Amino acid sequence: MATLRETDMTTPSEPYRADLLADQHVLVTGGGSGLGAAMAERCASLGAAVTVCGRRRAPLDETATTIRDAGGKAEGLSCDVRKSEAVESLIDEAEERQGPVTMLLNNAAGNFLAHSHTLEDKGFDAIVDINLRGGFHMMRACGSRWIERSSGGSVLSIVTTYAETGACFVLPSAASKAGIVAMTRSLAVEWGKHGIRLNAIAPGPIPTKGAWDRLMPGADYEERMRESIPLKRFATKHDLGTLAVFLLSDQLAASVSGQVVDLDGAAKWACGASFNELARLPDEQLTATFDAMRPRKPRS
């Protein structure tokens, strides 16, 4: 199993002033764990009210409690972003509890490694529905409210470097994240006159417990991937949070819109997509590896 290295998890001091996001209400999809929770906590630490949403209630409550215990403002609300009516209800409730949403951090995503030629319809649909359809539902719901209110707003989507390059064995993720990039750039132009900015971050691999175990085939592959990065380090949750806050903030990035910023230590330019090296392995070995990485349902 892949391991998380302490050198990747150290946290530098906070570069932003403590009230940078005061009077903002940030809605974070997929905010119950991993990168979403980390970004939600970072926004709250800078004064924002935060609503984290996702399908599983327990991690949402845990993230919201962590933020409140640290002195921040947070609510956790369940939502299936694949359903437009659920998204509309979510935002109504979030705004009733903490005031108008002013920023959307579009982070909810699904992914897994699989041979594309054996990929089933339900597997493809599951990822595309969360990543692309869910992202559209959130952008439309927030954007329509901001346009009606003439309030402006900021959207930040988390995509991936292989949305541009394509990648082996993650076809639904690559296709759906490319769609999010296209929506980001399209709406940046269409909604610019309404004072709405849309940007995206394309991270390379960032160590988080859940995603790392699902997508990292082993410690040897982890080390090869690290060595292929020109900076010889994986990005951290702190790196991502720092960039996310910058792009969300009108004070820091007022003229930045329609941009996709890579956060991968120049790995995309050095070696292409993250998982392409796996294509060199025999199909039988890959099948066994993918099966071993797939989560197992607990026995009843």
Question: Measured between alpha carbons, how far is residue 80 from residues 51, 165, 203 in Å?
Answer: 14, 29, 24
Helix H segments across 46-200? Answer: 57-69, 84-98, 121-128, 134-149, 162-165, 171-190
Measured distance CA(67)–CA(44) in Å, rounded: 7
Residue 199 dihedral angles phi and psi, to the nearest 5°: -140, 175
DSSP-assigned beta bridge partners for residue 155: 104, 198
One of 16, 112, 162, 234 is an active-site residue; which one?
A: 162
All residues at 6 or more sequence positions from 59 whose CB lies less than 8 Å from its CB, including other chains = 32, 33, 37
- Pair 137, 84: CB distance under 8 Å: yes
- Residue 16 bears catalytic tag: no
Q: What is the H or E stretch that residue 225 is in?
A: helix 219-228
Measured distance CA(245)–CA(185) in Å, rounded: 19
Q: Which of 31, 45, 251, 25 is nearest to 158 (CA)?
A: 31
Residue count of the chain = 300
Question: Measured between alpha carbons, how far is residue 269 from residues 38, 50, 164, 204, 265 in Å?
Answer: 27, 35, 11, 12, 9
Q: Which of 68, 19, 78, 75 is nearest to 48 (CA)?
A: 19
- Pair 157, 132: CB distance under 8 Å: no
Active site residues: 162
